Amino acid sequence: MADVATRPAAPPDFSKVSLGALRRYYVGEFAASAANNLAYRGAVAIWVVTTVIQPMVSIVVWRTVAGPGGEVSGFNASEFVTYFAVTMLVEHLTFIWLMWEFEWRIRTGAMSPLLLRPIHPIHKDVCENLSYKLIGLVGVLPAMVLLVIGFGGDVSGIGVVQVLTFLPALVLAMAVRFLLEWVLALSAFWVTKTSALNNLYFALFLFLSGSFAPLAVLPEAVRTLAYVSPFPWIVSFPVELALGRRTGAEVWVGYLAQVGWVLVALVLLRVVWRRAVRVYSAVGS
Partner 1 sequence: MTGGRVGADWTSGPRVAPGEGGLAGLVRHDLRILRTYLSLGVLNLVQYRSDFVLSVVNAVITLATQVLGLSVIFSRTTDLAGWGVYDLLVLIGVHFLIGGVLGLVVRPSMEAMMEGIRLGTFDFTLVKPADSQLLASVQVVRPQALVDVLVGLGVVVFGVTRVQASLSVVDVVLSLLTLLCGLVVVYSFILALSTMAFWFVRLDNVLVIFQSLFGEAGRWPVTIFPGWLRIVLTFAVPVAFAVTVPSEALTGRLSLTSALSAAGLALLFFAASRWFWFFALRRYTGASA
- Identify which of residues 89 and 269 has a Cβ nearer to partner 1 in the complex: 89
Smallest gap from Cβ 219 to partner 1, in A, equals 6
- Identify which of residues 34 and 60 has a Cβ nearer to partner 1 in the complex: 60
- Identify which of residues 45 and 263 has a Cβ nearer to partner 1 in the complex: 45
Smallest gap from Cβ 184 to partner 1, in A, equals 15
What element of type H or E holds 35?
helix 19-39
Smallest gap from Cβ 49 to partner 1, in A, equals 6
241: helix, strand or coil: helix
**Interface contacts to partner 1, rule CB under 8 A:** 42-43, 46-47, 49-50, 53-54, 56-57, 60-61, 64-65, 72-73, 151, 193, 195-196, 199-200, 203, 206-207, 212-213, 217-219, 222
Smallest gap from Cβ 130 to partner 1, in A, equals 22
- Identify which of residues 217 and 276 has a Cβ nearer to partner 1 in the complex: 217
75: helix, strand or coil: strand
In DSSP terms, which residues pair with 75 in a beta bridge?
72
Instruction: Show the DSSP H helices in 95-194 as ranges.
Output: 98-108, 111-116, 121-150, 160-185
CA distance 195 to 179: 19
- Identify which of residues 200 and 267 has a Cβ nearer to partner 1 in the complex: 200
Nearest to 234, CA basis, from 157, 181, 159? 181
CA distance 260 to 237: 14
Query: Quick one: angle between helices 160-185 and 121-150, nearest 10?
Result: 140
Smallest gap from Cβ 227 to partner 1, in A, equals 17
